[in-house]
Structure formats: structure tokens, C-alpha cells
Copies of this chain bind each other. A is one copy, B any other.
């Protein structure tokens, strides 16, 4: 597209924004204009002087991935603490939490032979899985498309490697819905197949695209006896497509899997917390969080480096724009979201122990792409108020305001009075990166990241202004 007619286009685009901004809504006209001005100031600051992208570069490329219990996770804790101190937040501290400590061990190996040709399979162990015997496991493969199908097969799974191959439903526009539709086979495959005597499970990677990156993720054995534990791994989507085809050619082909992962004793770690003290209600809190830990493939950029740096950027933007929050704002870098949620649980437990009053919480853990909206999951008194803010955010491209799930780490804070919200960026690319070696800094765009931080800051500004633990007062 060249410059042809673009002067006109520009003028019209601006006109159209102005139109939108003057839309009537349930906030009084005076507040709408004032809030609109404040929000514009926030976006302008984020887009011209945003720091989140450079912070993300440090976190993802200087430190790298940050598996719970790892040395890099500890480095990230120290980095986050120092960064928030350098930003001059009123209070910065570490909240101790014990976390699971699972290690991958040697690079996994998987392969099989078909028509005399050896096929190497891109594979990675799932977090929490046990190892195979040191010389690996070899067995025939039985392909299924759901936990329920595996359960029905029952004893037929005995001695087999169970291959869970349910793909993402590509027709779901929201890729998180597609993820939800098949992630159970990753989390519960081994605990389903183990008791029937299967020797391992392999699962098609949880991804919206077909390529050769295996995607890891958490799994669990639930309450089954430990002698029924079997190794569980993910293979790439491309390998899954091939294996499925090859199984039709030769249902008796032998699959080889070797992995040496193991679970070590729980390790000490921390949530990292920074505060700006509230001017009116210093003992009432609004939490803004993402998770500092990541999987041990890639750099944990979209999951969830972006949420980490956006959370700190929210507080920085309050300072830069001179907005004084009424409540105390807390940026919380949660530890161990991926594999235990210990940080989120600890944070809520301590809040309860200390009788802290939490007014609201917002979580960014859906990637760092262009903002599309927010979800609301909180007290019923505030829901209409929350929804009425939509026209303030539409000029910045946030049109999707939904009732629903807010986030894993802030979930344990839920009670009758708190208002939880989940930041919702565009989801189309997220599951190409998620939990894989493909989740790297270069996949994040600075403007998209900073727009997200500005949107979150603006939402926190509104929550701080209009919400309290009592029903809304205006």
C-alpha cells in the first residue's frame, strides 16, 4: 500500500476515533471525558516511552527460560527485585514459596521404523513425568483421540504406548477454546493409561500449527499408586500427523521413547512483589500479575515474560503519568504458575492470613499480542460498571469485554467481594509458541506489548477509581 489518498484516510481515521470517544455510556459525561483524557495520557506514555520491551529483552535473552526451582528462575527473581527497586517503587520484597523441582535431564529420543526407513520424532517429556528405563521403552502404539476413548479401550492398552492425537479444533476463532478442547489428554493421559498397564503415553503437541516443535506442559498422576506411573511425552504436530498415517500402513510398528527426567525435592523460591502505596486506602490492594517461571524450552517470552514486564510497567506508568492511586497497587511476579501454582496459592494464603483487603486483581498470561479486551470474573455489584468502561477502550482496539475466567495465579484470591480481570490479547499466534522452543523474544512486538501495558494500566486506573470492596460508590 502506498501513500495514495492516505492523507484523506488519516483524517477519516482520526474522525472515526473522535466519533467513538463521544459515544454515550453509563459513566457520567464529565467522568467519561476526564477518564478518556487520563487514558490517552497513559497510552501516549506507553507508546512513546514504554520500557516493557527492553525489560523483556533482558529477562528472555540475558536470563532465558526459568523453570521453577532452576538457577535461572532464581536469577529472574533477583532481576525482578532489582528492577522494581531501580524504578523507585515504594516497597519491594520477596515472598518465599517452596516449589516443585522437576528436571528434564538428557535430550529425549523417540523414533520408529516404517518401510525400512527410520523416522526420528521431535519429542519432549511432559513436566512432572517420570523417566523411561535408562535404555528406553519400545512398544506398539495405540492411537486414541480422547481420555474417554482410552478409558473404553481399558485392558487393550496393556503393554502399549498410548498415542493421544486429538488436534486443535481450527474452527474455534479463540485458540484458547481449542486448547481447552484437547489439553486434558496431556494432563490426564498417563494417569488414565497407567492403571491399564500401558507402558507410556505420547501426546500430540498442544498447538494450532503443524510444525516440528514439540510443546511441553504439565501432567499429573493424580491418586494412582506410584507403581502405575508411566512416562509421558509430547511429540510435534507434524510428527503426530505422520505417525497417524504410518499406523494405518503398519498398526504393529514399534515406537521407541527414551527420557531421563525426574522430580527432585521441592526447592525454595519466591514471588517478587513491588508496591506503590495508595493515597486514600493504603491497606487495600489491587494486584497486577504475570508469572516469572516458564517452561525450560525457548525463552518463556509470550508465556509469560510479557505478563511479567507488563505488570511492572503498569506501576511505572502510574509513576510516569503522575496518577496517584487511591489503593495500594502491587505488581506481583508469581513463581510456579506452570507446574503447581504454588506462587499464586501462597500469595492468596498470606493475604488471608494477614487479613489483607483485596479490591481487584488483573492477570496477563495469554501472550503479548495486540490487545483485544478483558474478561471479568468478580463480584456481581461491579459487573455493569466494568462493562460500561468499554467505550473508553474501543479507540485503542479493545472491543472484547467478556464475563469469564480471569487467570490462574489470581484465581486463589477469589472471594465474594474482589473483582478479577484477565487481559485478553489477540490469540491467533499464541499456541504456535506456547511451551515450545519457539517461544522466544523475537516473536514479541514492542508496540503490541506496550499497547497491552497501557490497556492494563488504564483498567487498573478505572478499577482504582470506581471499585472498592463495598459496592461501587459514585
Contacts and interface: CB of A to CB of B under 8 A. Distances in A.
A10 to B, nearest CB: 3
Interface string A422-440: 0000101100101000000
Nearest to A411: B5
A344 to B, nearest CB: 9
A404 B12 contact: yes
Contacts of A399: 394, 399-400
A4 B186 CA distance: 12
A405 B186 contact: no
B428 A218 contact: no
Given A44-B171, A397-B372, A447-B428, A183 B13 contact: no
A9 B180 contact: yes
Contacts of A446: 209
A434 B2 CA distance: 9
B447 A405 contact: no
A460 interface: no
Nearest to A50: B170
A181 interface: yes
A65 to B, nearest CB: 15
B341 A4 contact: yes
Contacts of A353: none
Contacts of A6: 176, 179-180, 183, 405
Nearest to A402: B16
Contact of A396 (B4, B173, B445): B173
Nearest to A303: B1
B411 A13 contact: no
Contacts of A375: 12
A108 interface: no
A366 B1 CA distance: 6
Given A429-B448, A446-B209, A9 B48 contact: no
A434 B18 CA distance: 27
A451 B1 contact: no
A407 B9 CA distance: 9
Contacts of A434: 1
Copies of this chain present? 2
Contact of A208 (B174, B217, B218, B447): B447
A375 B6 CA distance: 13
Nearest to A171: B44
A117 interface: no
Interface string A338-374: 1101000000000000000000000001110010100
A8 interface: yes
B451 A404 contact: no
A445 B407 CA distance: 26
B186 A3 contact: yes
A253 interface: no
A2 B218 contact: yes
Nearest to A435: B2
A10 B338 contact: no
B372 A408 contact: no
Nearest to A5: B405
Contact of A218 (B3, B171, B187, B396): B3
Given A10-B181, A170-B48, A451-B173, A365 B1 contact: yes
A184 B3 contact: yes
Q: Which 9 A-B pairs have the closest CB atoms?
A: A12-B404, A10-B180, A9-B405, A399-B399, A4-B408, A6-B180, A3-B183, A16-B402, A1-B365
17 contacts: A1-B176, A1-B366, A2-B338, A3-B184, A4-B408, A4-B411, A5-B405, A12-B375, A16-B404, A43-B171, A44-B171, A173-B396, A173-B451, A208-B447, A397-B400, A399-B399, A428-B448
